[in-house]
Structure formats: structure tokens, C-alpha cells
Amino acid sequence: MSKKQESTRADIYTRITDKIVEDLGRGVKPWMQPWHDRNLQGRITRPLRYNGQPYSGMNVLLLWSEGILRGFTSPQWMTFKQALELGGAVRRGEAGTTVVFASRFTKTEADANGGEVDREIPFLKAYSVFNVEQIDGLPEQYHHRPTALPDPVERIEHADRFFRNTGAMIRHGGAQAYYSPVTDHIQMPPIETFRDVVGYYATLAHEEIHWAGAAHRLDRDLSRYAKDRSERAREELIAELGSCFLCADLGIVPELEPRPDHASYLASWLKVLSDDKRAIFQAAAHAQRAAAYLHGLQPLQDDDRQAA
């Protein structure tokens, strides 16, 4: 990889992380913004590609944040070229939104013995997409409003089934929600102690993201959680993002006010993100893997709610 390519990649990390740090500094968590928008009430979803496939990981945060900032009510996005292929045209003067594509390439290098070894090198590429509300001439299907979500009881039954299908051991009692790696169980307060029933499921989603990270599942290193404040903040950020991803997938509105034990992480997140420009990308990737893992435990995938 050339120095120019390395510089470009570093600039992508820095530019995006600085924007999130700026939002956090103002007390705004960009991954929670969609649920605050009255125009989108009852229609929360992950951002969607032109073909209806949901975005994943870091791109969810980027497009949620930008969509709310610019007042878009449609969740669908596409590239300039994709718009042309569909018979549309981006309006003159419209600015695109940055998303990222992560991949790897193989580089052959000489080892200490004079032989050749292949090394996989990750790279990050940024490109622009446009919301369908910035594009004229698209087929009518891109202008249809999303169908109404099922009533709250159906949504909660669906979420209850989803979490039951993961097979996680969930115990109820006490006043704290947590995952215990020692006993491999999730502890939840009784559902009636929550402000509302959807708050219970949003909190359970958070704890299931922790559960998915156990050594015999996704093998995230949770060993330093109790001893290292920085590692604890990173893991809580993963669980918070993963919970938001699952809430969007399942049609649940998460708790908009942070839990008391999580509100204190805001300063820690600011420090972690300021010190490490890749931290938010890594957290989003881990959160995406955990959400996908939980989806993979379902006996039947619901195409309307599965996230890619």
C-alpha cells in the first residue's frame, strides 16, 4: 500500500471519528438519533441500499446520523451510478453522504529465511451515496412510504420469540441488568419494573450482545472488563451499538434516556474515540457480528426483519 493510500485511509478514520466525537461532546449519541425524529416514529429501520438490502456496521451509524441531520424520511440510499441505471438523476447541487467499504488484499513478502509469505492487509475505501429524496426520476417503488409496523403487542411477541430462540439463559430478579461470563447467564430485573415494556427488550438486546461475545461464541476478550476502564467502555459501546442494530431489526424503540449505569460511559467513550480513531469502526464491526450471530440462531429468518 502506498503512503498516499495509507494517508487517505487514516483520513477516513479521522474524519468520521471526529464527527462522532463532536456529537458526543454535545451530548448527542448519533446512533440514537433516528428514534428522536417524530417524522420517523413507527418506521424505524436500518438504512437500506437501492435493492432493499440493509446496510451494516459503521454505515448504519453514518447514514442514520446524516439522514436525521438533513431531514430525510426515506431509509433508502444509492450511488450516483445506481441512480442512473434506474432511470433517475441526482439533482444538481445535492451533496452525497460518505459510507465506507472494508476489505482485504493479499501482499507477498519475503520472510526471515528468504522465502515468500502472503500477508492479508485490511483496507478501507470511502464512497458517496445519495438518499432517494435527492434523486428525481426514480421508479415509483422508491417513493412508497413503508407499511405500518404491527401493533405493539405483535412487535413484542416477535422480540420475545427472537431472544428465546438464542438459547441464552435469562434469569429475572433484582434491580440490575448484566451478563455474567462466570455463570454464562443474563440477569434482568422483572419486566414490570421497567418504565415501559419496550425498554425491557431494548435492555435485553444490550445484554444479549454481551452474551454473544463469550469465549465459546464470538470470543471477544471480556477478561479485562472489570479491571480496565478503557476496555469496559469499549465493550459497553459494542453492546450499545449492537442493541440499537437489533432494535431497528425487530421494530423496537429503545430507551431514549440512558440507563444510569451507562450514562457515565459518555466521558469514557469520548476519551477512547479521541485516543483511537479506529475504535468506533471496531466497535461497530463487533456489534454487527454479534447481531448477525443472534440472527443466525433463529430457526427461520424473517426477510422483513433480518439485517445483512
Q: What angle do CA 93, 94, 95 make, to 5 degrees?
A: 115
pLDDT tens profile 79-123: 999 999 999 999 999 999 999 987 776 777 777 777 777 777 777
Domain ranges (residues) in the chain: 3-143, 152-296
Mean pLDDT (whole number) for 199-208: 92
Here the cell at position 5 is 493510500
Q: For helices 265-275 and 3-25, give the axis angle rounded to 10 degrees.
A: 160
Total-model pTM: 0.76
Whether 307 shows a pLDDT value over 90: the answer reads no
Q: Residue 121 and residue 84: Cα distance in Å, rounded?
A: 33
pLDDT tens profile 204-220: 999 999 999 999 999 99
pLDDT tens profile 117-158: 777 777 778 899 999 999 999 998 887 655 555 555 556 889
Sign of CA dihedral 73, 76, 81, 86: negative
Tell me which amino acid residue 56 is.
Answer: S
Q: Residue 254 and residue 212: Cα distance in Å, rounded?
A: 19
Mean pLDDT (whole number) for 233-239: 93
